[in-house]
Structure 1
Amino acid sequence: MAQRDEYNARHLSVLEGLEAVRKRPGMYIGSTDSRGLMHCLWEIIDNSVDEALAGYASSISITLHKDDSVEVTDDGRGIPVDIEPRTGLSGLEVVFTKLHAGGKFGGRSYNAVGGLHGVGASVVNALSGRLDATVTRGGKVHQLSFRRGEPGTFAGNGPNDSFTPAEEGSPLQVSGKAKRGVTGTTIRYWADREIFTPDAHFLEDELVNRARQTAFLVPGLRLSIRDERGGESSEQVFQYDGGISEFVDHLSPDSAVTGIWRIQGHGKFTERIPVDGRMQDIERDCEVDIAMRWGVGYDTAVKSFVNIIATPKGGTHMAGFEQALVKVFRKVVEANARRLKAGRDKLDKDDVLAGLTAVVTVRIAEPQFEGQTKEVLGTPAARQIVTKVVSDQLEARLNSTKRTEKQEATSVLEKVVSEMKARIAARQHKETQRRKNALENSSMPAKLVECRSKDVESSELFVVEGDSALGTAKLARSSEFQALLPIRGKILNVQKASVADMLSNSECAALLQVIGAGSGRNFDLDAARYGKVVLMTDADVDGAHIRTLLLTLFFRYMRPLIEAGRVFAAVPPLHRVEIINSGSRPNEVRYTYSESELVTLLADLEKQSKKYKEPIQRYKGLGEMDADQLSETTMDPAHRSLRRIRVEDAEAAERVFDLLMGSVVAPRKDFIIAGAHALDKGMIDA
């Protein structure tokens, strides 16, 4: 028993060098799937970007090869190749084999960088089946290869070729000469498939987005991506000179309420760090650069960066930014409460962030990140500095007396106040509009034709175009689980209108009230009073327009309903064909739902020598059907067809809605002209 419980120093394991990385890769790259594979690639790319940030590189090219390797080339200074005195190894070998080694400690070579911990290149090397580093520097081309972190020589050009480990001394080779003044670094590596999962692969879309993002953050830097993995190679190039202002313009999903506001400033702070074995106070500089604009929608798109490294989970800089926004807007709204009709209610963060698109960047020497994945900034001083810079400049902007700035300030203040009112109204609405007491408090619109069932999952709300269709639908519906809400023609186009205009519109307000789940960012899917919402409009151009207006309302203010697959479009028939049967048999009725379906049916009838009554009835409105026909074709679950409305790509859907329903006319005109040749003139009511 004593032997089994024995525990002393000989039981301890000491992992040396890169062995620790291979033993616990998740600690350094997060995971060993595609996400971890991409993180390795970011480490190499970020080293090249750091050269561009320091002013030494202007071009970076990334190539995804057919053999599953990736190559990153820059025209920076090149990794040092001279001997590092303490280790006796070349600088290139030190960078790729020693953890916490590099030129980014101490601030002499780089001022603000993304690679900070000195483990990026060495971690990628440790997790690679093969890595080739080529450095052009001092008129020579230097070459060094590694296998799973160990330097040596390969017999061929592939990762599985025989490998000879390096002997004592530096294995760095000079493979050629270079033109005078030409410098740069090329890294090509094959991920070690013993480490990564079999399905891990490089994600081109993610790489493209990251390259585009970096080109915005480093004005003038040229980034090219070449993908040779498919049958044909493709190349994309990104280069922007407008910086983060262009980035915000690219990210903005909706029409503008303000122009792009730029806030820039800096602050100093003191940080205690070890220098030559002693703790010393060092004065640091934190540069703040922010671009932002408000749009008509309520979605928020804020991206934050530290030294061009994305911090998707925020950190102290984002906390300072949000704190300043809320503080300044509360102060200005309270000072102008009477003019803005704000009352005594207080703004909260969501009111201010609604419709905001912003890029928040800070540059700090040796920032503190939480973990190697660098998703959260931890430098405490950044919060106070960002708060002060944003507070001072934003307050001045909102109180500006310049004509254009004053107009924009008024517009964004009115928007923020309307968001506050919408939030408060939604909260009150949520408290009073629960299904269990909807009928008792008599708060539902008088025109709602309610169903008897209180089972949300089985109930259906039909949004019906016009009172004439409502009359027929009342007789055609199943009153047990089908409710009806008529709307009068074309509702407000909410893509152009403000939140206040939308709430004051009777048709929009009635629809929000009947569904009973609130609106915008306060929408509560669990509070929705119906399992399905079915848009039932006429099968003509006006009906399609009304359906588009309704979908715009759902997409803008009730998107979770669409994302949950609970919004449908009814599919009423276009034609009724009465087939004449011989003898005493009653005539057969067939419905078709498109012109091509009608042509096919008539051709089949002609082949069978069957006759039909002419003229064929063409339905242009739901009111033309009697109740039995409407029930059989459009409302009865046993026979009807419904089209589920989906949002598989929210960004693409946002662009389409803005194109078709937004306030900018010229792109919509071009879209209509481009598609005019496909229009069937017979479909136009004239």
Structure 2
Amino acid sequence: MSSDYSARHLSVLEGLEAVRKRPGMYIGSTDSRGLMHCLWEIIDNSVDEALAGHGTEIEVILHRDNSVEVRDHARGIPVDVEPKTGLTGVEVVFTKLHAGGKFGSGSYAASGGLHGVGASVVNALSERLDVEVDREGKTWAMSFHRGEPGRFDDGKGDPSPAAAFHPFEEASSLTVTGKVAKAVTGTRIRYWADTQIFTRGAAFQFEELLGRARQTAFLVPGLGLTIIDERGDEREEHRFKFDGGISEFVEHLASDAPITDVWRLTGDGRFKETVPVLTEGGAMVPTEVERECHVDIALRWGTGYDTIARSFVNIIATPKGGTHVAGFEQGLLKFIRAQVEQNARRLKVGTDKLDKDDVLAGLTVVLTVRLAEPQFEGQTKEVLGTPAVRAIVSSVVAKALGERFSSTKRDDKAQTSLVLDKVVAEMKARISARTHKETQRRKNALESSSLPAKLADCRSTDVAHSELFIVEGDSALGTAKLARDSEHQALLPIRGKILNVQKASIADMLGNAECAAIIQTIGAGSGRSFEISQARYGKVIIMSDADVDGAHIRTLLLTLFFRYMRPMIEEGRVFAAVPPLHRFVVQNPGSKPNETIYTYSEAEFIAVTKDLERRGKKFGTPQRYKGLGEMDADQLAETTMDPAHRTLRRVGVSDAEQAGRVFELLMGNEVAPRKEFIIDSASGLSRDRIDA
């Protein structure tokens, strides 16, 4: 490399060249995430129009040729000439960085677009972009090739980026392609992402698009969003429209049973900030302006311990939080702490202090703030930086919750009392987990054991190769002790059916002897304090009888693991043993030893019976096992416990949110949905599967 470095080595990128040279600076990445970011830049422009009161319908079409089209019925992009540049409004919006109607001109009180680069960036990163605007009784059109305005020769065929392109040589202009009624306005944008920019395999993610569209429909009540996918064999269409706003959003997000109704906390605040303002002469002058911040929060507490939080600024998601989220958490924690202190005697809290996680456990919240020209960190707008918003949100939360907690209505009093009980129970569980963390680990010669007395532990301290069998009843325990490999296999008996933790509170769960014994034996804590690195066994194997009761016990145990020790399932460390249902002893002639065959289902039993009869084999009456206790140690070891011969079913979860809904449906407090599920599923049940 040359040590010479002078002004001639400097590069000056003009217009959209900078975007094509450094796309990651504007859209984050050039894979599918960047592709989706571009699409939402266009959609958000239409949503901003809806927020300003113009247009109630937006349509997004994913075409078969990998292009995407966004249509709205808002005011339409201005088509008149912008005096400073001499270009039409359409060309200014799509070719000039930091140009648009969101820089304090009064066109938008609060919008998602702030930097004036969204549409122009998408244009720069598109091989072709077509825009049509309905305004003033006409349809105006313009096309762009990698950001340059011109015309494509499509002929009679469909529009394509491969068509010959002719850039404007002297002056660019809009083309009038049709007439519309005077009252008809709107914008249609269709673009083809540039394959020179985006990585191979980058594609529009339909499920992500549906999720974001649903989310936007929740945030803008009354706005209809239609998503159409024409890429597959069959056309797929989804429409979202919600009039209940973020209250419906919270109900959609929450998966656990409710402790409270959905509460709405709303309020406003004012603050001053100094910003540069563009004067008529074209100069930027620092000016102190007064801003208004509107806060709207919907929240509810549930029986679970997971926190589901979504935050937005002018309908733009802020997944990494910011000052509005900090203000919410600050105001919520301060207020709940004060309430707990006021009710310390009833709640029996002593001198312990609530932590933020204690208050947020089981909380589902959607937090939205609206203000003009918010400060974001970067074009991707993932973090809100406006400092004054923190104090405003905190004040609104404290005031609104104060009204709720001081209400004399019976429902409000009951629900606020349940919230305080829950957060205190979470605090006690956290403190208890921390206190017993060390004593829950595997004992050694220098430590006393706090493990359950009924645990038959293994000798090995090698976690990766150790197994914990949770067995049903003492009768099975006696046989399993003789059948196990005591070096690596530990046994913990439980008495029948444990507590259904989907319906019970945390306090009831911790107070249940069987649940407490399981958590204590595994030794990694529970709920939010669960640390899988502290788990004392590499595998946990549920070994229950092969009958209806055994299946119910297995379901109850899986509910406990899913709700309070979910990482064990997510890492594939929970298994279900598969004990046999039948045993055949095939009598061989002469001195040849008899053959033992095990079957694990009715279908296999019938097939083996027919096969033995066809081959003329003699066998006694097949033994049917009604439970693990009917096997002797050798049989249990051979069929269910010996790693060389046994069959295990690994329990996994591909979609935790969907699994949570299923657990709530089948194991939760609401009887009516479960009854409907059973009635609807009855037609699919074969009579042959009923053991009667």
Give the structure-1-normalised TM-score.
Answer: 0.98
In the alignment, what sits opposite 2:656? 650
The Cα shift of 1:396 comes to 2.6
Query: Matches of 1:161 and 1:556 in 2, distance apart?
Result: 57
Query: Matches of 1:673 and 1:584 in 2, distance apart?
Result: 56
In the alignment, what sits opposite 1:489? 496
Query: Matches of 1:278 and 1:185 in 2, distance apart?
Result: 34
Query: Matches of 1:395 and 1:53 in 2, distance apart?
Result: 30
Query: Matches of 1:246 and 1:596 in 2, distance apart?
Result: 47
**Is residue 443–residue 449 contact of structure 2 (8 Å, CA) maintained in 1?**
no
The Cα shift of 1:6 comes to 2.7
Give the gaps of 5 or more residues in structure 1: none
The Cα shift of 1:685 comes to 6.4
Query: Matches of 1:438 and 1:646 in 2, distance apart?
Result: 36
Query: Matches of 1:606 and 1:674 in 2, distance apart?
Result: 40
**Is residue 289–residue 360 contact of structure 1 (8 Å, CA) maintained in 2?**
yes
**Is residue 150–residue 172 contact of structure 2 (8 Å, CA) maintained in 1?**
no
In the alignment, what sits opposite 1:466? 473
Deviations 1:301-341, CA, capped at 9 Å, x for gaps: 00000000000000000000011111011110011011011
SS of aligned partner of 2:436: helix
SS of aligned partner of 2:437: helix
Structure-2 change in CA distance of 1:436 and 1:442 (3 Å): closer
Query: Matches of 1:350 and 1:395 in 2, distance apart?
Result: 21
Query: Matches of 2:195 and 2:584 in 1, distance apart?
Result: 63
In the alignment, what sits opposite 1:151? 149
SS of aligned partner of 2:178: strand
Query: Matches of 1:677 and 1:70 in 2, distance apart?
Result: 42
The Cα shift of 1:683 comes to 5.9
Query: Matches of 2:165 and 2:691 in 1, distance apart?
Result: 77
The Cα shift of 1:7 comes to 2.0
SS of aligned partner of 1:100: coil
In the alignment, what sits opposite 2:529? 522
From 53, 57, 60, give the equivalent of 1:59. Answer: 57
In the alignment, what sits opposite 1:175? 177
The 10-residue stretch of structure 1 (121-130 or 320-329) with the greater mean CA deviation from structure 2:
320-329
Query: Matches of 2:613 and 2:102 in 1, distance apart?
Result: 82
In the alignment, what sits opposite 1:329? 336
**Is residue 307–residue 364 contact of structure 2 (8 Å, CA) maintained in 1?**
yes
The Cα shift of 1:617 comes to 1.6
The one-letter amino acid paired with 2:631 is M
The one-letter amino acid paired with 1:456 is V
Query: Matches of 1:71 and 1:603 in 2, distance apart?
Result: 62
In the alignment, what sits opposite 1:617? 623
Query: Matches of 2:446 and 2:579 in 1, distance apart?
Result: 31
SS of aligned partner of 1:430: coil
Query: Matches of 2:18 and 2:653 in 1, distance apart?
Result: 44
Query: Matches of 2:80 and 2:258 in 1, distance apart?
Result: 54
From 652, 660, 672, give the equivalent of 2:666. Answer: 660
In the alignment, what sits opposite 1:590? 597
Q: What do you get for the CA RMSD once the two structures are aligned?
A: 1.3
The one-letter amino acid paired with 2:573 is R
Structure-2 change in CA distance of 1:402 and 1:439 (3 Å): farther
**Is residue 439–residue 449 contact of structure 2 (8 Å, CA) maintained in 1?**
no
The Cα shift of 1:677 comes to 3.9
Query: Matches of 1:307 and 1:7 in 2, distance apart?
Result: 46
**Is residue 128–residue 191 contact of structure 1 (8 Å, CA) maintained in 2?**
yes
Q: 1:641 and 2:620 equivalent?
A: no
**Is residue 213–residue 240 contact of structure 2 (8 Å, CA) maintained in 1?**
yes
Q: 1:378 and 2:376 equivalent?
A: no
Structure-2 change in CA distance of 1:617 and 1:469 (3 Å): same
Query: Matches of 1:565 and 1:387 in 2, distance apart?
Result: 41
Map 1:192-591; keep pairs closer than 5 Å.
192-275=194-277, 276=279, 277-437=284-444, 440-591=447-598
SS of aligned partner of 1:343: coil
The Cα shift of 1:533 comes to 0.5
Q: 1:676 and 2:682 equivalent?
A: yes
Query: Matches of 2:195 and 2:323 in 1, distance apart?
Result: 37
The Cα shift of 1:481 comes to 0.8
SS of aligned partner of 2:626: coil
Give the fraction of aligned pairs with identical amino acids, expressed as a percent: 70
The one-letter amino acid paired with 2:380 is T
SS of aligned partner of 2:296: strand
The Cα shift of 1:271 comes to 1.3
Query: Matches of 1:358 and 1:149 in 2, distance apart?
Result: 41
The Cα shift of 1:11 comes to 1.5
The 10-residue stretch of structure 1 (397-406 or 33-42) with the greater mean CA deviation from structure 2:
397-406
**Is residue 467–residue 486 contact of structure 1 (8 Å, CA) maintained in 2?**
yes
SS of aligned partner of 2:486: coil
Query: Matches of 1:509 and 1:684 in 2, distance apart?
Result: 34
Deviations 1:138-187, CA, capped at 9 Å, x for gaps: 10000000000000000011011110001222321111000120100000
SS of aligned partner of 2:432: helix
The one-letter amino acid paired with 2:231 is R
**Is residue 153–residue 165 contact of structure 1 (8 Å, CA) maintained in 2?**
yes
The one-letter amino acid paired with 2:441 is R
Give the structure-2-normalised TM-score.
Answer: 0.97
Query: Matches of 2:328 and 2:580 in 1, distance apart?
Result: 55
In the alignment, what sits opposite 2:15? 17
The Cα shift of 1:682 comes to 6.6
Query: Matches of 2:445 and 2:411 in 1, distance apart?
Result: 47
Query: Matches of 1:486 and 1:683 in 2, distance apart?
Result: 29
Structure-2 change in CA distance of 1:87 and 1:237 (3 Å): same
The one-letter amino acid paired with 2:545 is D
The one-letter amino acid paired with 1:144 is M
SS of aligned partner of 2:469: strand
Q: 1:630 and 2:636 equivalent?
A: yes
Query: Matches of 1:499 and 1:117 in 2, distance apart?
Result: 48
In the alignment, what sits opposite 1:78? 76
Deviations 1:263-309, CA, capped at 9 Å, x for gaps: 00010011111112210001000000000000000011000000000
**Is residue 135–residue 141 contact of structure 1 (8 Å, CA) maintained in 2?**
yes
Query: Matches of 2:551 and 2:419 in 1, distance apart?
Result: 33
SS of aligned partner of 1:323: helix
The Cα shift of 1:575 comes to 1.1
In the alignment, what sits opposite 1:164? 166
In the alignment, what sits opposite 2:192? 190
Count of residues in correspondence between the two structures: 683
Query: Matches of 1:678 and 1:245 in 2, distance apart?
Result: 36
The Cα shift of 1:678 comes to 4.4
The 10-residue stretch of structure 1 (75-84 or 432-441) with the greater mean CA deviation from structure 2:
432-441
Query: Matches of 1:430 and 1:107 in 2, distance apart?
Result: 59
